[in-house]
Chain A
Amino acid sequence: MKQYSTLRKPILGTPKSFEDVTIDIATQLERRPAKLWWAALACAVCALGVGATAVAYQLKMGIGTWGLNNSVGWAFDITNFVFWVGIGHAGTFISAILFLLRQPWRTSINRSAEAMTLIAVACAGIFPLIHMGRPWLFFWATPYPNSRGPLWVNFRSPLVWDCIAIGTYFTISLVFWYLGLIPDLATLRDRATSKTRRFVYGILSFGWNGSMRVWHRYDAVYLLLAALATPLVLSVHTIVSMDFATSIIPGWHSTVFPPYFVAGAIFSGFAMVLTLLIVARKIMSFQDYITIDHIDKMCRVMLAAGSLVGISYAIEVFVAWYSVNPYERFAFLNRALGPYAWAYWTMITCNVFVPQLLWFRNLRRNVILVFVVSILINVGMWMERFVIIVTSLHRDFMPSSWSMYKPTIIEIAILLGAFGLFFTAFLLFARFLPFIAISEVKGVLGYARRPQERSSHKVPVHAISEAPAP
């Protein structure tokens, strides 16, 4: 039997049996939605509608409806793109990397975080798409033998790498997430009282029968997919960073960009997971599953990622000075003291100063404070992308080409629409799919439970044997 240190605490707040877990999670999907849910959905759909209208208008009128100009040819859209892709990283980090690191607490949060990943990547995809002059020809960005010459994409362009990296990432994440869902969908099928429900969940669960052989294969595939998804977490934001770093624009061309972007992505992703889960655990009464300990641990990951981001900022500024290159030095002085100084200092405050609060255990366990911090980090990380992109472009090499960028109402409406899409999809997910991985939580019920607790609290004997080892 696996032994646990006396300092370890069980994963869940109170001891639960297998049945408790099924009931707690599945009943959320089996009762009628609350008024609050309808209200939230209505707001999200409204925002989505505003965004869709703005996109339709923009497609009709052209990119001129945005605030871009000759110097700042990339601004709001790519900022949003990088922001959303970054958000997505936490899900894969939690589901794949924490799985390989044998962190049993991930079981309470991996499902929702992965759903968030998929939705965020979908939101991200909108922005490059609508920036294309003719979005209906988007598939021209992928390499395939064609009748246009054949005309191939430029394989040396990081934008093509982006298309491939994000496509792969989305596909693997989707498969990984869905694979994890299958046993839970079968549980929902078995509990279904209506024929439609049983039919739909039956189709979705691929005839899962829970036999030993099926579980055995499931575990093997799960481990393999986790190992495949792990390098993808790093590769996606690495490639995104190369959209900028392969250029020779001061402030963009920086070799530290790949790991720095990845750290920033994990940082912002965990912030978004915390924002969502702090609300969700309260509304869906999941405090026993997503405990204060979970929030504490997520804060620690956020602090680590945030510190890497902070040290990367410092390295960039230091090396800009050290380079004695007047353009490099100007790019960084201009960020801190130029017309966009407000954005720069917002970024530094939210991403460097605010997370320092998380060094203190009491503050990490203060849910309201963590919620506020997580929102500020979201703001800070959005600002980071804005600062990197716009400040580097708006001061061109020739002062005659200097300009300013300001988003138009259309661009702001599109961002609002992306948030609308994000929340609409997330709310639907919370209603129709198990928010917490039922089968995985069952695997860690025995973790660090004392034997006497096990007997007095009806935890089944086979749950005690061992936490799932990858």
Chain B
Amino acid sequence: MIPTFRTPPALARVLAVGMAVGLLMLVVGLFAAPDRAWPNLLISIYYLTGLGLGAGFFIAIQYLSNAGWSVGIRRIAEASTSILPVAAIGAVVLMFGIHNLYEWSHSSLVAGDSALQGKSVWLNPTFFAARIAAYFVIWIVLSKAIVRNSERQDKDGDPLHTSRNVRNSALFVVSGLCTSVLASMDFLMSLQPHWYSTMFAFASLSGSFLSGLAAITVLVVVLRRLGYRELFRDEHLCDLGRLMLAFSVFWVYLWVSQHLLIWYANIPEETTYYVVRHAGSWGTLSVVNVLLNWAVPFLVLLPRASKRSETVMAAAAMSILVGHWLDLFIIVMPSKFRDAPPLGIWEIGAFTGILAVFFGAAFRSLGKRSLVPVGDPYLVESLPARGH
């Protein structure tokens, strides 16, 4: 019998404090330092959406490839997707800040700029808000459908739920990929509305997926520390480590490709993006970004033993979680703060807040149902080997 999960009170208190700090920083910031609070809110929302979507894609890919190894940790990924509605609420709040964030939302600016006029059919406040709403509806509806089916299977163990979820996963992957490509362009690329790069969407999505994997890893480690090592096994940890290693390399591959092609062609319209991000402290942060998202996880996770160590895996995952936040920080902030990166209490407060919100939501969701999908026909492949 699988015990029901309760968030330990000490952990719940820490998370509550974190959330309170985050919320306080947000509310105070919106009045005290709106120029920093709005971009921070954008980073936070995109970050949380990425964790939720990353987990959603993880689940969908597992279903589509009929994977067996990951069934035992699927509930953790399912719990991660419960952050999406929270991110959606944040996105509603964000709509009040679009004039602060997006140059194209000012009709007076657009009127004097022929390039912005050329894309005002796409980049205008009404259509922008409608698109964002549509994205969140699609993501939440489809991920909830998958989670609900998986939950129903706990009761009857009917393989039909699996085949339904394979279909839902196909829908999720196709519509989720199309919408998240557009979402990354809307939320992030349009911050510099004259700049464009066809790689941008894939590069940003690879970061989201990587951070989604890292968040699942942290949850697995925490649950193991809480005593669930029988359920969440060394093999799961090891395979998550392999995935993080692979997608960390994939992230840097896309990062280098975009960077190299823009550097090589040296077209001013494109290089403006990197010119800002290479100067002064932004340049240092760009290097740190690559270190945290790629160099550290890559070197740390290469040996087999480190993928089976809770401490090392948690450290690598945290490097990625911090790195992904920094990645978004470097994408978002220079559009407002060209000269020096504004790193202070507003930013740290916001980051603390989103981590607390995410883990709070995930633990809450984990407590609602069995910790492993007990009715899944592939669960047996994810459990310890029997016999001999």
Chain A interface residues toward B at CB < 8 A: 1-8, 100, 102, 231, 234, 238, 242, 245-248, 253-259, 300, 307, 311-312, 314-316, 319, 321-325, 359
Distance between Cα atoms of A254 and B265 in the complex (Å): 10
Distance between Cα atoms of A224 and B159 in the complex (Å): 38
**Nearest chain B CB to A360 CB, angstrom units:** 11
**Nearest chain A CB to B199 CB, angstrom units:** 4
Whether the pair B380, A324 counts as a contact (CB closer than 8 A) is: no
Distance between Cα atoms of A259 and B388 in the complex (Å): 45
Chain B's interface: helix, strand, loop or mixed, by majority? helix
Interchain CB contact (< 8 A) of B198 among A1, A102, A255: A255
Interchain CB contact (< 8 A) of A315 among B198, B254, B261, B378: B198
| Other contacts beyond A4-B68, A248-B267, A359-B170: 7, CB < 8 A | A2-B385, A7-B66, A255-B261, A258-B254, A307-B177, A319-B196, A322-B119
Whether the pair A3, B380 counts as a contact (CB closer than 8 A) is: yes
Please give, as numbers and ranges, the residues of chain A lying within 8 Å of B272 by CB-CB distance: none
Say whether B1 faces chain A, with CB atoms less than 8 Å apart: no
Whether the pair B381, A256 counts as a contact (CB closer than 8 A) is: no
- Report if A238-B257 is in contact (Cβ < 8 Å); known contacts: A3-B380, A4-B381, A307-B174: yes
Whether the pair A5, B261 counts as a contact (CB closer than 8 A) is: no
- Report if A3-B383 is in contact (Cβ < 8 Å); known contacts: A231-B249, A238-B257, A324-B118: yes
Whether the pair A3, B122 counts as a contact (CB closer than 8 A) is: no
Whether the pair B159, A7 counts as a contact (CB closer than 8 A) is: yes
Please give, as numbers and ranges, the residues of chain B lying within 8 Å of A323 by CB-CB distance: 196
Whether the pair B198, A319 counts as a contact (CB closer than 8 A) is: yes
**Nearest chain B CB to A71 CB, angstrom units:** 20
- Report if A256-B385 is in contact (Cβ < 8 Å); known contacts: A6-B377, A234-B253, A325-B269: no
Whether the pair B115, A255 counts as a contact (CB closer than 8 A) is: no
Say whether B92 faces chain A, with CB atoms less than 8 Å apart: no
Whether the pair B378, A5 counts as a contact (CB closer than 8 A) is: yes
Please give, as numbers and ranges, the residues of chain A lying within 8 Å of B201 by CB-CB distance: 315
- Report if A311-B254 is in contact (Cβ < 8 Å); known contacts: A5-B380, A5-B381, A7-B159: no
Say whether B178 faces chain A, with CB atoms less than 8 Å apart: yes
Whether the pair A311, B178 counts as a contact (CB closer than 8 A) is: yes
**Nearest chain B CB to A419 CB, angstrom units:** 32
Please give, as numbers and ranges, the residues of chain A lying within 8 Å of B387 by CB-CB distance: 1
Per-residue CB contact flags for chain B residues 86-116 toward chain A (1 = under 8 Å, else 0) read 0000000000000000000000000000110
Per-residue CB contact flags for chain B residues 142-166 toward chain A (1 = under 8 Å, else 0) read 0000000000000000010010000
Say whether B312 faces chain A, with CB atoms less than 8 Å apart: no
Distance between Cα atoms of A238 and B64 in the complex (Å): 27
Say whether B311 faces chain A, with CB atoms less than 8 Å apart: no
A-B contact list, 9 entries, CB within 8 Å? A6-B377, A100-B242, A234-B253, A246-B264, A246-B265, A248-B267, A253-B265, A258-B199, A311-B178
Please give, as numbers and ranges, the residues of chain A lying within 8 Å of B286 by CB-CB distance: none
Please give, as numbers and ranges, the residues of chain B lying within 8 Å of A247 by CB-CB distance: 265
Say whether B202 faces chain A, with CB atoms less than 8 Å apart: yes
- Report if A245-B119 is in contact (Cβ < 8 Å); known contacts: A5-B68, A7-B378, A256-B202: no
Please give, as numbers and ranges, the residues of chain B lying within 8 Å of A325 by CB-CB distance: 269
Whether the pair A315, B257 counts as a contact (CB closer than 8 A) is: no
Chain B interface size band reads 35 or more
B270 to chain A: closest residue by CB: A255
Interchain CB contact (< 8 A) of B385 among A1, A234, A314: A1
**Nearest chain A CB to B214 CB, angstrom units:** 20
Whether the pair B196, A322 counts as a contact (CB closer than 8 A) is: yes
Interchain CB contact (< 8 A) of A259 among B114, B181, B254, B269: B254
Whether the pair A246, B261 counts as a contact (CB closer than 8 A) is: yes
- Report if A254-B198 is in contact (Cβ < 8 Å); known contacts: A3-B381, A5-B378, A311-B178: yes
Whether the pair A7, B385 counts as a contact (CB closer than 8 A) is: no
**Nearest chain A CB to B188 CB, angstrom units:** 14
Say whether B262 faces chain A, with CB atoms less than 8 Å apart: yes
Whether the pair A322, B381 counts as a contact (CB closer than 8 A) is: no
A329 to chain B: closest residue by CB: B118
Whether the pair B380, A259 counts as a contact (CB closer than 8 A) is: no
**Nearest chain A CB to B304 CB, angstrom units:** 11
Whether the pair A311, B177 counts as a contact (CB closer than 8 A) is: yes
Whether the pair A3, B386 counts as a contact (CB closer than 8 A) is: yes
Whether the pair A242, B261 counts as a contact (CB closer than 8 A) is: yes
Whether the pair B199, A256 counts as a contact (CB closer than 8 A) is: yes
Whether the pair A256, B115 counts as a contact (CB closer than 8 A) is: no
**Nearest chain A CB to B135 CB, angstrom units:** 15
- Report if A322-B122 is in contact (Cβ < 8 Å); known contacts: A248-B265, A255-B261: yes
Distance between Cα atoms of A255 and B249 in the complex (Å): 18
Please give, as numbers and ranges, the residues of chain A lying within 8 Å of B64 by CB-CB distance: 300
- Report if A316-B198 is in contact (Cβ < 8 Å); known contacts: A1-B388, A255-B258: yes
Distance between Cα atoms of A460 and B368 in the complex (Å): 47
Say whether B197 faces chain A, with CB atoms less than 8 Å apart: yes
**Nearest chain A CB to B142 CB, angstrom units:** 16
